[in-house]
Amino acid sequence: MPRCFWCTDDPLYQAYHDHEWGTPRRDPALLFEMLLLEGFQAGLSWITVLRKRERYRQVLCGFDPVQLAQMSDERIEELMLDPGIIRNRLKLNAVRRNARAWLALDNPAEWLWSFVGGEPKINHFTGRSDIPVSTDEAVAMSKALKKAGFTFVGPTICYAFMQATGMVMDHTTDCDRYAALVR
């Protein structure tokens, strides 16, 4: 099956590419999870985060924002000892802060999707050099998220989040998923 240039032969990566990445997602729980995971990726490769995703689900209460908003400093210190996750204090503190900011939003899924007009933006890129690392929409989302109290939400992270959740469809035209998602 032809896949996007970034997808390696790792079965976990292929499953993510084939079944998740670029598929429009509107479920608030999944959007929150992906926003946090994209923040954990900062400075790292996505496959690193993907390999740790299940452990994150275990130790971060299934990404439940209510529980994460109440996470204590002691719990963050415990998590800093867990080799199954990315042990970065700033990123773990961001989980708590972002959960609180998420809970303060009236309708986070609708609000996030508003940055692309409520519908997926379908791109028709042919190769790696065509795909931007950020867009005006991602910059606007980043500024709005920061204003709402979020952290680890720069424009590049926001664009990766938009790609992952199907707000923008950046599968290249030679990828099998492109045809399926354009329909």
The per-residue pLDDT for range 34-83, each reduced to its tens digit, is 999 999 999 999 999 999 999 999 999 999 999 999 999 999 999 999 99
Euclidean distance between CA atoms 65 and 102, whole angstroms: 7
Give pLDDT, residue 14.
97
Structural domains in the chain? 11-182 (1.10.340.30)
Cα distances (angstroms) measured from residue 47 to each of 10, 18, 40, 143, 159: 9, 14, 11, 27, 17
User: What residue has token string 């939400």?
Assistant: 153
Confidence category of residue 7, pLDDT binned at 50, 70, 90: very high
Instruction: Tell me: is residue 175 an annotated ligand-binding position.
Output: yes
Instruction: Tell me: is residue 19 an annotated ligand-binding position.
Output: no
pLDDT digits (tens, 9 = 90+) for 124-159: 999 999 999 999 999 999 999 999 999 999 999 999
Catalytic positions are 16, 38, 46
pTM comes to: 0.96
Contact predicate 163/21, CB 8 Å: yes
Instruction: Tell me: is residue 4 an annotated ligand-binding position.
Output: yes
